[in-house]
Copies of this chain bind each other. A is one copy, B any other.
Amino acid sequence: MDAAFVLYDRMTALDLVGPYEMLAQHPEINAHFVGARRGPVRADAGLELNATTTFDELPQPDLIVVPGSGFWSAVLEENDALVAWLAAAHPNATWTTSVCTGATLLAKAGILAGRPATTHWLARDLLGELGAVVSTDRVVVDGDVMTAAGVSAGLDMGLTLVARLFDEAQAMVVQLFTEYDPQPPFNAGSAEKAPAEVVEFARAFAAGR
C-alpha cells in the first residue's frame, strides 16, 4: 500500500507527522514523502522536511494525507501543482485525507463538493465557501474521504485510519506504542472550551496574520 504524505512550503509539521507516526511504521504501508520537487520544504515554524518523491513519480497512491498551514489563504494560492495532482489522484485512492486546513486544498481540487468535512476552527467559513458541508467534528469520515480538525486532530485521524485499513486491534497497538493517553494540562483545545479572552486573542492574531 503506497501512502503519499504530502509536503509543501509553510505546511504545519504536526498536521503531517501526527498521522505519519500512526501509519508509517506499519509493515504493509510504503510511506512516500511527496512534493512538487525533491528537497526541503520549510514548515510554518521553521522545521525543514524533505520531499523524496515528486507528484509526477507517484500518480496513483492508495492513501493520501494532506496537511494544513498556519498561512492557509496564501497556501491555497501557491500550490496549483498539488491541487492538480490531488484532483487526478483522488479517484484511484482508497483514502484521501486531510488534517487542519489541508481540507481547503482538497476542496479546491473538487474533492469535497457537497460533502461533509472538517478543518481548523478558524477556517470553517473558508471551507464552506469552497463548497464543503462544514462539520465541527474532530474527525469526519465520508466514503473514501477522511478529514480532521486542527493540527493535533491528525493523531485521532491516524488511529481511525489504521482501524479502517487494518483492524481495531492494530490501531490499539499503535496507540500503545505511541503512548497516546493524552493528558493536556489545560482545557482550552476548542473555541467552546477555552476562556473567551483566549479565543479572542487567537482570532485577532490569525486575522492580523
Pick the residue among B52, B150, B179, B205 that contacts A48 (CB under 8 A).
Answer: B52
Q: Does A85 contact B (CB under 8 A)?
A: no
Q: Contact: B155 with A176, CB < 8 Å?
A: no
Contacts of A179 in B (CB 8 A): 100, 120-121, 149-153, 189-190
Interface window among A18-26, A76-84, A90-98, A127-135: A18-26
Q: Give the residue name and chain of the B residue nearest to A179 (CB).
A: B150
Interchain CA distance A120-B177 in the complex, whole Å: 8
Give the B-binding residues of A (Cβ under 8 A).
Answer: 5, 12-14, 17-18, 20-21, 24-25, 31, 33, 40, 44-50, 52, 70, 100, 120-121, 138-139, 149-153, 155-156, 159-160, 163, 168-169, 171-173, 175-186, 188-191, 193-195, 197-199, 201-202, 205
Q: Knowing that A138-B183, A171-B185, A171-B188 touch, tell me 6 more A-B residue pairs with CB under 8 angstroms.
A: A13-B21, A47-B49, A172-B194, A173-B201, A177-B202, A180-B184
- Give me 8 A-to-B residue pairs in the complex whose CB atoms sit less than 8 angstroms apart, sorted by A's number: A13-B21, A48-B50, A121-B179, A139-B185, A151-B180, A152-B181, A159-B185, A180-B182
